[in-house]
Structure formats: structure tokens, C-alpha cells
């Protein structure tokens, strides 16, 4: 699948076009009577982003199963997960990466014509338009697709007054509606960007019964409703096919190793790693409880979380010692470590893999992810691994990006996949395992021990360069606080390697 580059002037003219009635869809008054709007007993929409969160379902295969997660994925407003892109300070100053290639020239944050059109807002008000129902929604476009969900968007409708609601139909059945007045940030985000995910099981309780089937094809339509209750005709149906679940092994034929850190020495290699995040150790994100000791800083705290065995690196989290002034560690109760290739190595496309033994215990999170440090373009992040030490046979995987819609955030509106859960047959903290991701044009595939566990495809897979980050989180809103038995927490890494074509 080809990644479209930002439409530039073409996108601008598309957006301008959709502010004029002559460019809008037909205003013919047609009621969507052929669509079943009674998917629930009370006739209301069955699936809605304002539903309760954290409902789980189950999928399975032979030795590894990927389930609908019972955790909260990351969002701008909730601070309920543990990946840095979510609560990144808005005033962070970008520092250019020294490697990696931005294939879009730094401007790949609105790749589809449909999304460019939606930059005008959730609808177009055209007072020269005659009274009647809104124009028909059009241009349904799949943004990302996985085994059991798809995210798509459409071109906003035009009305002489205002559009108040969009109804989403799957195979003729009403499955959700989106509005801008619910007070729910996820529903509001869909409204602003005229987009929808079927089915976001991290956010919607309805997914328990409405989850799409792996590899199935579905026909989607959208109906616009204006402030007078008049309904547009249903959009032309768009058929989206979900990805087939597989257990394929990673194939590196044609790839060459371009980065290798074996951690065989006695100290961290300054030419490869930094020991802080781009926003520094004194900024708290995701309501985390630890302080990351910047051992490469000018005046680090008197604790080194990094130790070497001769074959591995151990990142160890502890209670803050009483002899370390609280003010010197941002008054945090725990100390831990993070390593990042920020400014030293960035990659665009390829396969990255870590061999590690993750930390177990309440209130612990071992993480390994790719992150765009420059906060430009669509500011992507691929969470290769999030491992909660309290659920020892589960791992979590997520992809985040920002679009061009600046209505709520200077970086655009944030989109995240569901927090995809993988259930394994063993306690992953008891031995070393490999965790990897294959990232190519329009494709992200997650692997554990060389076996595929998750996959997404689509034009919203980024081509912005990303850095490699590993960290041991201690306490957050998502994972809770550690117990005495959780500490010291040891995240032990054997190697980090990257291959590219």
C-alpha cells in the first residue's frame, strides 16, 4: 500500500473547494430508509466512543493469542497510559535528528485528500445553499486496518446551517453515531476529524458484541443529520477488508544489519545513547512516579540505574534513597533509567528487535518503542512492547500519530490504534525473549520471539524518522503504584539491533 505524501497546494485547493456549495456533494433530499437504524432495542447507536472503556474480548491462535485489551490506551487528555507521545509538553523545542530519512520532506501529516478536505472542520456551512438536508458524505477512505478493526474518514457534508451528527453503518446496520457536543474527548476527536474506528475495543463497550471478524470484508456508509433533523442520503458504500491473522516468522531476506548494541562493555556508549528523554527528567508525563536519572547530565543524582554484566545491560528501579535530596529528583519516590538514541540514531523503515528479560511486579512497566523526537509531521510513535509486571503473560502494542487538524492541539488531532493485547502461554519475565517490529511503507508488524502477533496497514503508517527508546517505568495511573515486593525492578537487555533494506 502506497503512502501518499501531504497534498500541499493540492490539499489546500481541495479544502477551499469544499467551502463552496458548487464543490459540495449533492443536496438532493434522500432519506436513508434502506439502512437499518435499530441495531439496539431502543433504536440508539450500538457503538459509540462515549461508551465505557476497557471492555475485553478474546481472539486466539495456537501458542500466542491477541486479545481485545482491558487497559486504557493513550490519549492527550486522560494521561492514562505510559508512552511519552501522549503527554509530551507542548513547548518542547525540537532538536534535529542526525540520521534517518524523512521521506515526505518533513510535511507528512495529512496524506489523504479526504483528510485534507476535513481540515475545514466537521462540516461546511454554506449560507448560499438552499434549505434542505445536508449534502451526502463522500470519499470514505481507510486510514489504518488491522485484524479486527479499521479506522476510516470521510469528506464533511455541507449544510445551509449546520451538521449536528454523523451516523455510521456497517452492512446496513447502524453501529455508531458521532457528535461534537458529548463532552467525551474521543467522540469529539472523531467529530472534528470526521473519522471513525470500527471497533475501538479500548474505548467502546459495544465491541464485545460488535467486534469485526478477522480478515472479513464489510461495507460502510455514513449519513449526515443537520440541526433541523434532516438526513442526507447515505454515502456510497465503501468496502474495507480487514487483515488476515497469521503467525508468520519474521523474514529478513534482503535486509542488512545497520545498528547493533550488544551491551558487552562496562559503560553505556555515549555515541549511541542518551540517558534522558527530549523533555528532560524534571517533566512528568503519564503521571509516572519515577525520576529518570540522567547519568550523562551535568549534575546527576547519586544513583546509577545502569549496570553491566559483561553480556547484558540492567536498568534497575529503586526507592529513592533517603540520602538523596528529594528536590534533586523532582520529589519522586522512585529512581529508574531510560536510554534513547535521540540525536545519535534514527531510522525510517526497517526491522528493529530487542532481546530482553522484562521486570515483573505490581506498578512496573518495561517499554521499548520508536518515537519521533522532533515532534514534526505526524509525530509518530510505535510501541513495540509495553509489559505490565502485574500481568506476566501479556504484552501490549500501540501505534500513535497526529493529523493536520489543529482545532484542539497545535500538533494536530491525535489518533491511536486500540491498545492491542497479546496473551502468551508463559510468564515473560522469567526468561529472555525477543520483541521486534517490522516497519515499512504502509505496514507495521509486531513480533514476539520471531512470530507475528499484530499487524496494521494503511496510508497513515508514518514515514517520519524515529529514535529507539527503552525505559523502566515505576508507577503511573495505568499500572498503579509499586508494592514493596516490586523493588528493586530489573529490566535486563541483551541486545538492540536494526536491519534495513
Residue 410 burial (C-beta neighbours within 10 Å; 0-12, 13-18, 19+): exposed
Mean pLDDT of 333-346: 97
Mean pLDDT of 49-70: 36
pLDDT band at 48 (very low <50, low <70, confident <90, very high): low
Residue 43 burial (C-beta neighbours within 10 Å; 0-12, 13-18, 19+): exposed
| Total domains, the chain | 2
Residue 127 burial (C-beta neighbours within 10 Å; 0-12, 13-18, 19+): exposed
CA distances from 221 to 153, 187, 198 (A): 11, 18, 12
Q: Is the pLDDT of residue 45 over 70?
A: no
* DSSP-assigned letters across all residues of 407-441: SS-TT--EEE---EEEE-SS-GGGS-EEEEEEEET
Same domain, 43 and 168: yes
% of residues, the chain, pLDDT over 70: 77
Same domain, 127 and 262: no
Give the pLDDT of residue 74.
Answer: 35
Same domain, 202 and 114: yes
CA angle in degrees (0–180, nearest 5) for 481-485-490:
85
Same domain, 350 and 316: yes
Query: CATH no. for residue 458?
Result: 2.60.120.200
Query: CATH no. for residue 29?
Result: 2.60.40.10
Mean pLDDT of 99-123: 69
Structural domain that includes position 12:
8-52+108-241
This prediction's pTM = 0.82
Q: Residue 1 domain-assigned?
A: no
What span, in angstroms and rounded, lies between the C-alpha atoms of 204 and 249? Answer: 32
Q: Is the pLDDT of residue 147 over 90?
A: yes
- CA torsion sign, 123 to 127 to 129 to 134? positive
* Residues 462, 401 contacting (CB under 8 angstroms): yes
What span, in angstroms and rounded, lies between the C-alpha atoms of 247 and 397? Answer: 16
Buried residues in 395-405 as b, exposed as e (16+ CB within 10 A): bbbbbbbbbbb
Q: Residue 175 domain-assigned?
A: yes
Give the pLDDT of residue 57.
Answer: 32
* DSSP-assigned letters across all residues of 448-494: ETTEEEEEEESTTS--S-BEEEEEEEE-BTTTBPPPGGG-SEEEEEE
Of the candidate ranges 71-85, 112-126, 247-261, the one whose mean pLDDT is the lowest:
71-85
Give the pLDDT of residue 119.
Answer: 78
Domain final position from 198, 213, 241: 241
Same domain, 232 and 262: no
Q: Is the pLDDT of residue 5 over 60?
A: no
Quote the mean pLDDT of the chain.
Answer: 82
Q: How many CB atoms lie within 10 A of CB 9?
A: 7
Same domain, 213 and 341: no
**Which cell numbers in the block locate residue 227?**
440541526
Mean pLDDT of 223-232: 98
Same domain, 268 and 210: no
Give the pLDDT of residue 31.
Answer: 33
Same domain, 321 and 221: no
Mean pLDDT of 260-285: 95
Q: Residue 73 domain-assigned?
A: no
Of the candidate ranges 88-92, 248-252, 272-276, 410-414, the one whose mean pLDDT is the lowest:
88-92
pLDDT band at 364 (very low <50, low <70, confident <90, very high): very high
Domain final position from 241, 266, 286: 241
Of the candidate ranges 85-99, 247-261, 263-277, 304-318, the one whose mean pLDDT is the lowest:
85-99
Q: Residue 95 domain-assigned?
A: no
* DSSP-assigned letters across all residues of 65-103: EEEE-SS----TTT--S--TTSS--TTPPP---SS---T
CA angle in degrees (0–180, nearest 5) for 328-271-284:
30
Same domain, 264 and 200: no
Of the candidate ranges 41-45, 55-59, 212-216, 292-296, the one whose mean pLDDT is the lowest:
55-59
Same domain, 217 and 277: no
Amino acid at each position: 500500500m502506497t503512502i501518499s505524501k501531504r497534498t500541499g497546494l493540492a490539499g489546500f485547493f481541495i479544502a477551499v473547494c469544499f467551502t463552496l456549495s458548487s464543490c459540495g456533494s449533492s443536496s438532493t433530499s434522500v432519506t436513508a430508509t434502506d439502512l437499518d437504524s435499530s441495531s439496539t432495542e431502543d433504536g440508539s447507536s450500538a457503538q459509540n466512543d462515549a461508551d465505557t472503556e476497557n471492555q475485553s474480548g478474546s481472539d486466539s491462535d495456537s501458542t500466542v493469542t491477541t486479545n481485545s485489551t482491558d487497559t486504557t490506551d493513550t490519549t492527550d487528555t486522560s494521561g492514562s497510559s505510559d508512552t511519552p507521545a501522549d503527554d509530551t509538553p507542548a513547548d518542547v523545542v525540537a532538536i534535529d535528528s542526525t540520521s534517518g530519512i524523512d521521506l515526505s520532506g518533513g510535511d507528512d501529516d495529512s496524506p489523504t485528500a479526504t483528510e485534507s478536505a476535513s481540515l475545514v472542520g466537521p462540516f461546511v456551512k454554506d449560507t448560499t445553499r438552499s434549505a434542505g438536508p445536508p449534502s451526502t458524505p463522500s470519499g470514505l477512505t481507510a486510514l489504518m486496518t488491522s485484524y479486527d478493526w479499521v479506522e476510516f474518514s470521510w469528506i464533511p457534508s455541507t449544510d445551509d446551517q449546520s451538521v449536528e451528527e454523523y451516523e455510521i453503518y456497517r452492512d446496513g446496520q447502524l453501529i455508531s453515531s458521532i457528535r461534537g457536543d458529548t463532552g467525551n474527548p474521543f467522540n469529539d476527536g472523531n467529530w472534528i476529524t470526521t473519522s471513525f474506528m470500527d471497533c475501538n475495543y479500548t474505548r467502546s463497550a459495544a465491541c464485545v458484541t460488535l467486534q469485526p471478524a478477522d480478515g472479513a470484508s464489510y461495507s460502510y456508509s455514513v449519513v449526515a443529520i443537520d440541526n433541523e433533523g434532516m438526513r442526507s442520503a447515505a454515502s456510497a458504500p465503501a468496502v474495507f477488508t480487514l487483515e488476515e491473522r497469521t503467525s508468520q516468522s519474521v523474514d529478513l531476506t534482503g535486509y542488512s544489519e545497520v545498528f547493533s548494541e550488544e551491551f558487552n562493555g562496562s559503560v553505556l556508549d555515549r555515541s549511541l545513547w542518551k540517558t534522558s528523554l527530549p523533555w528532560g527528567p524534571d517533566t512528568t508525563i503519564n503521571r509516572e512516579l519515577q525520576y529518570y536519572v540522567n547519568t550523562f547530565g551535568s549534575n546527576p543524582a547519586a544513583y546509577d540505574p545502569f549496570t553491566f554484566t559483561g553480556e547484558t545491560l540492567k536498568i534497575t528501579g529503586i526507592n529513592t534513597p533517603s540520602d538523596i535530596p528529594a528536590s534533586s529528583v523532582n520529589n519522586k519516590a522512585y529512581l529508574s533509567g531510560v536510554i534513547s538514541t535521540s540525536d545519535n540514531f534514527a531510522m525510517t523503515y526497517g526491522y528493529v528487535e530487542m532481546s530482553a528479560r522484562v521486570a515483573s511486579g505490581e506498578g512496573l512497566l518495561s517499554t521499548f518503542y520508536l518515537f519521533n523526537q522532533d515532534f514534526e509531521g505526524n509525530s509518530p510513535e510505535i510501541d513495540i512492547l509495553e509489559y505490565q509486571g502485574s500481568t506476566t503473560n501479556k504484552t501490549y502494542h500501540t501505534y500513535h500519530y497526529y493529523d493536520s487538524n489543529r482545532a484542539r492541539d497545535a500538533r494536530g488531532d491525535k489518533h491511536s490504534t486500540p491498545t492491542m493485547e497479546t496473551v502468551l502461554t508463559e510468564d515473560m519475565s522469567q526468561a529472555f525473549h525477543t520483541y521486534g517490529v517490522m516497519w515499512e511503507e504502509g505496514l507495521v508488524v509486531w513480533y514476539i520471539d520471531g512470530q507475528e502477533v499484530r499487524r496494521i496497514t494503511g496510508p497513515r503508517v508514518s514515514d517520519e524518522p524515529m529514535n529507539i527508546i527503552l525505559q523502566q517505568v515505576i508507577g503511573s495511573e495505568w499500572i498503579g503504584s509499586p508494592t514493596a515486593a516490586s523493588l528493586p525492578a530489573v529490566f535486563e537487555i541483551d541486545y538492540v539491533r536494526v536491519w534495513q533494506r
